[in-house]
Amino acid sequence: MKPAPFAYERPETIEEALAVLAVHGDEAKVLAGGQSLVPMLNMRLLRPSVVVDVNRVPGLDGLRADNGEIRVGALVRQAAFGGSRLVRERLPLAASCVPYVGHFVTRNRGTVGGSIAHADVSAELPLALLVQGGSAVVASTRGRREIPAEELFLTHFTTALAPDELLVETVWPASEPETRTAWVELAQRRGDYALAMVACTLRVEGGLVAEARIGLGSVVDRPSLVPEAAEALVRRGVDAAPEAAVLAARSVEPYDNLHASARYQRHLVRVLVERAVRQAWA
Partner 1 sequence: MGLREIELRVNDRRVRETVEPRLLLSDFLRHTLGLTGTHVGCEHGVCGACTVRLDGDSVRSCLLLAVQADGSAVETVEGLARGRELHPLQRAFHEEHALQCGFCTPGILMAAADLLERDGTPSRETIVDMLSGHLCRCTGYEPIVEAIAKVANR
Partner 2 sequence: MGVATERKTWVGQALPRLEDAALLRGEGRFLDDLDPVKNAGHAAILRSQLAHARITRLDPSAALEHPGVIGVLTGEDVAAMSRPFPVGVEAAPPYRAAAHEVARYAGEPLAVVVAKDRYVAEDALELIEVEYGPLDPVMDADAGAVVSDRSFRYGDPEAALARADLVVRERFRSPRWSCTPVECYAVVADWNAAAGSLTAWANFQGPFTLHSVAAGALGLTGSKLRLITPPDSGGSFGIKATVYVYVVLMGLASRKLGVPVRWIEDRLEHLLGSSAATERLTEVEAGFSADGELLALRYDVVEDVGAYIRAPEPATLYRMHGSLSGAYRVRNVATRNRVVLTNRCPTGLNRGFGGPQLYFALERTLAIAAGRLGVDPAELARRNLVRARDFPYRTPSGGLYDSGDYEACLDRALELARYEERRREQADARAEGRLVGIGLACIVEPSISNMGYITLAQTSAERMQALPKSGNAEAATVAINALGGITVQVGTTPQGQGHATVAAQVAADALGVDPGVIEVVTALDTSTSAWTVASGNYSSRFSGVGAGAVHKAATRLAAKLRAIAAAELGCTADEVDLHDGKAHANGGNVSLRRLAGVAHWNPDALPPGIEPGLHETAFDAAPNLAPPDEDDRVASSAAHGFIVDVAVVEVDRETGQVAVLDYVTVHDAGTLLNPLIVDGQVRGGFAHGAAAALFERIVYDQDGNLLTGSFVDYLCPTAPDLPAVTIGHLSTPSPFTTLGAKGLGEGNTMSAPAVLANAVADALGIEGVEIPLTPARVWELLANGGTHGSPVGPLLPEDKAP
Query: Which residues sit at the interface with partner 2, rule CB under 8 A?
Result: 1-5, 43-44, 186, 188-193, 195, 246, 249-250, 258-261, 263-264, 266-268, 270-271
If one counts every other C-beta atom within 10 angstroms of the C-beta of residue 90, the result is: 21
DSSP character at residue 188: S
Max CA separation in the chain (angstroms) = 61
Partner touching 279 among partner 2, partner 1, none, CB below 5 to 8 Å by kind: none
Coil, strand, or helix at residue 8? Answer: strand
- Binding of partner 1 by 55 (CB under 8 A): yes
Residue choice 191, 271, 275, 279 for contact with partner 1 (CB under 8 A): 191
Identify any residues that bridge with 173 across adjacent strands, giving them in sequence order.
Answer: 69
Nearer to partner 1, 85 or 189 (CB): 189
Instruction: Output helix, strand, coil percentages for the chain, rounded to the nearest 5.
Output: 40, 25, 35
Give me the numbers of helices (H) and strands (E) for the chain, helices first please: 12, 14
Partner touching 208 among partner 1, partner 2, none, CB below 5 to 8 Å by kind: none
Closest by alpha carbon to 87, among 129, 54, 33, 57?
129
Q: How far is the CB of 153 from partner 1 (least distance, A)?
A: 23
- Binding of partner 1 by 7 (CB under 8 A): yes
Nearer to partner 1, 9 or 274 (CB): 9
Binding to partner 1 by CB under 8 A, coded x per residue (else -) over 84-103, reads ---------------x--xx
Q: CA 195 to CA 178: how far, in whole Å?
A: 30
Binding to partner 1 by CB under 8 A, coded x per residue (else -) over 231-270, reads ----------------------------------------
DSSP annotation string for 189-214: STTSPPSEEEEEEEEEETTEEEEEEE
Partner touching 234 among partner 1, partner 2, none, CB below 5 to 8 Å by kind: none
Q: How far is the CB of 113 from partner 2 (least distance, A)?
A: 22
Q: Which residues contact 251 (CB under 8 A, 6 or more apart)?
A: 216, 224, 226, 228, 229
Positions that interact with partner 1 (CB under 8 A): 1-8, 10, 31, 34-35, 38-39, 41-43, 51, 53, 55, 79, 99, 102-106, 108-109, 189-191
